[in-house]
């Protein structure tokens, strides 16, 4: 069956973005870990990131990490979500490093690694204000002392998360505090830390502005490489491509209809009460694309004269009145994606993935 709903992926642009991010960060002594969760770790895209020169891979899903190993990716891989106790054996077997904040979990990792004759690397996450994962600053040294009692794990660094929950922006002050905490850990343990991981795409602005605190030597970058955007700062990154991903959906109806529904209005299929502005009769296209396929709020028409009016589980309605081209049934409308849109589109089994670029035909 041919798919009228496709996600086009330009591997050359992903490779180029990877190379640009890696080069700019490497000039500041910062390693780049390519985050693969945003596209469900599709191996073609991972291969393009690796070809671009990133220093390692990271994902929040063990399922993705296992598949990458089965695809024979030998790159260092970090598990980006605190390990589930039920996954401990898999974490030790397939991931080189994991981020952690719970001593109970770290102890379980140590026991599993010892049984396997391995040493699993730990990055201890520190909460610097975003209030997602991480130990509080005042508990860092005591937590490190507890970790030092476990054989089977090695504390290789400290890390922090910015912007993902509380929207807190990385800064000279909060990342400078991570550096200070790293120095305190080194004094206490008498051992150097290999990693001070200062966040992700949102921290690239500090690299660009030459304001990254000395000592931060790793960033975990996904959105910047994939989309060339930085959602936390609400900006386009001007030295990266923004169009490596393109969603195309087929038009299945074109009709002139009123802009306001006729009749008493109740809740829509998702429990919301829709509101409408009366702008008269409008030409509308219905697409074979719905909320079951993609997060609608995470896509936007490339043609700025088009406007998404709304969507149900199976259909998206687009106002095409002001379009400069004549849109008819069977045509396709192209959309760009935000990070949230890419997350859902990549994981949707209803959207066909089409790869372009010089490596697109390799298995």
Give me the CATH number covering residue 114: 3.20.20.10
**Do 275 and 168 belong to one domain?**
no
In a domain, 3, yes or no: no
Segments forming the whole domain that contains residue 332: 245-356
In a domain, 36, yes or no: yes
CA distance 348 to 335: 16
Q: What is the pLDDT of residue 69?
A: 98
CA distance 346 to 183: 40
**Do 159 and 27 belong to one domain?**
yes
**Do 107 and 209 belong to one domain?**
yes
In a domain, 145, yes or no: yes
**Do 219 and 154 belong to one domain?**
yes
Q: What is the pLDDT of residue 167?
A: 77
CA distance 179 to 252: 56
**Do 208 and 275 belong to one domain?**
no
Q: What is the pLDDT of residue 2?
A: 65
In a domain, 361, yes or no: no
Q: Among 168, 202, 230, identify where a domain stops.
A: 230
Q: Among 230, 256, 291, identify where a domain stops.
A: 230
Number of domains forming the structure of the chain = 2
In a domain, 84, yes or no: yes
pLDDT in 10s for each residue of the chain, 363 residues: 667 899 999 999 999 999 999 999 999 999 999 999 999 999 999 999 999 999 999 999 999 999 999 999 999 999 999 999 999 999 999 999 999 999 999 999 999 999 999 999 999 999 998 888 999 999 999 999 999 999 999 999 999 998 777 778 899 999 999 999 999 999 999 999 999 999 999 999 999 999 999 999 999 999 999 999 999 999 999 999 999 999 999 999 999 998 888 877 777 767 777 777 778 899 999 999 999 999 999 999 999 999 999 999 999 999 999 999 999 999 999 999 999 999 999 999 999 999 999 877 766
Q: What is the pLDDT of residue 248?
A: 98
In a domain, 206, yes or no: yes
**Do 279 and 206 belong to one domain?**
no
**Do 226 and 251 belong to one domain?**
no
Q: What is the pLDDT of residue 279?
A: 84
Q: What is the pLDDT of residue 275?
A: 77
**Do 15 and 141 belong to one domain?**
yes
* N residues, the chain: 363
**Do 306 and 165 belong to one domain?**
no
Give the active site residue among 28, 37, 107, 283: 37
CA distance 102 to 97: 15
Nearest CA to 105 among 89, 129, 128, 127? 89
The domain that holds 295 is classified in CATH as 2.40.37.10
Q: Pairing state of beta strands 281-287 and 307-311?
A: unpaired
H, E, C per residue of the chain: CCCCEEEEEEHHHHHHHHHHHHHHHHCCCCEEEEECHHHCCCHHHHHHHHHCCCCEEEECCHHHHHHHHHCCCCCCEEECCCCCHHHHHHHHHHCCEEEECCHHHHHHHHHHHHHHCCCEEEEEEEECCCCCCCEEHHHHHHHHHHHCCCCCEEEEEEECCCCCCCCCCCCHHHHHHHHHHHHHHHHHHCCCCCEEECCCHHHHHHHHCCCCCCCCCEEEECHHHHHCEECCCCEECCCCCCCCEEEEEEEEEEEEEECCCCCCCCCCCCCCCCCCCCCCEEEEEEECCCCCCCCHHHEEECCCCCEEEEECCCCEEEECCCCCCCCCCCCEEEEEECHHHHHHHHHCCCCEEEEECCCCCCC
In a domain, 240, yes or no: no
19-23: long-range contacts at Cβ-Cβ below 8 A with a sequence spacing of 24 or more? Answer: 19/52, 19/53, 20/239, 20/240, 21/52, 21/54, 21/204, 21/221, 21/224, 21/225, 21/240, 22/52, 22/53, 22/54, 22/55, 23/53
**Do 19 and 87 belong to one domain?**
yes
CA distance 66 to 57: 12
Q: Among 230, 256, 287, identify where a domain stops.
A: 230
Residue 13 designated active-site: no
Cβ atoms within 10 A of the Cβ of 237, count?
22
In a domain, 72, yes or no: yes
**Do 270 and 303 belong to one domain?**
yes
pTM of the model: 0.93
Nearest CA to 253 among 294, 300, 204, 309? 309
**Do 29 and 119 belong to one domain?**
yes
């Amino acid at each position: 069956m041919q798919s009228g709903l496709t996600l086009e992926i330009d591997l050359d642009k992903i490779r180029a973005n990877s190379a640009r991010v890696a080069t700019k960060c490497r000039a500041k002594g910062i390693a780049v870990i390519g985050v693969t969760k945003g596209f469900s770790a599709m191996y073609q895209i991972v291969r393009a990131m690796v070809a671009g020169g990133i220093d390692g891979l990271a994902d929040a899903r063990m399922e993705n990490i296992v598949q990458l190993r089965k695809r024979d990716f030998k790159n260092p891989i970090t598990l980006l979500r605190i390990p589930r106790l039920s996954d401990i054996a898999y974490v030790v077997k397939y991931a080189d490093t994991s981020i952690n904040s719970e001593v109970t979990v770290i102890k379980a990792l140590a026991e599993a690694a010892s049984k396997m004759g391995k040493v699993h690397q730990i990055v201890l996450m520190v909460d610097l204000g975003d209030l997602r994962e991480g130990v509080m600053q005042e508990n860092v040294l005591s937590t490190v002392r507890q970790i030092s009692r476990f054989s089977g794990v090695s504390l290789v660094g400290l890390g922090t998360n910015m912007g993902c929950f509380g929207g807190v922006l990385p800064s000279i002050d909060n990342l400078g505090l991570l550096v200070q905490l790293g120095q305190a850990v080194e004094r206490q343990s008498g051992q150097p830390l290999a990693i001070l991981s200062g966040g992700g795409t949102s921290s690239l602005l500090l690299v660009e502005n030459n304001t990254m605190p000395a000592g931060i030597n790793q960033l975990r970058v996904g959105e910047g490489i994939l989309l060339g955007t930085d959602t936390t700062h609400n900006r386009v990154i001007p030295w990266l491509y923004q169009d490596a991903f393109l969603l195309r959906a087929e038009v299945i109806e074109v009709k002139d209809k009123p802009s306001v529904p006729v009749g008493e209005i109740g809740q829509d299929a998702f429990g919301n009460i829709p509101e409408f502005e009366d702008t008269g009769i409008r030409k509308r296209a219905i697409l074979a694309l719905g909320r079951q396929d993609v997060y609608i709020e995470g896509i936007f028409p490339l043609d700025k004269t088009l406007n998404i009016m709304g969507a149900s589980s199976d259909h998206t309605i687009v106002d095409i009145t002001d379009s400069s081209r004549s849109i008819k049934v069977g045509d396709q409308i192209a959309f760009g994606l935000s990070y949230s849109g890419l997350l859902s589109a990549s994981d949707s089994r209803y959207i066909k993935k089409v790869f372009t670029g010089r490596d697109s035909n390799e298995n």
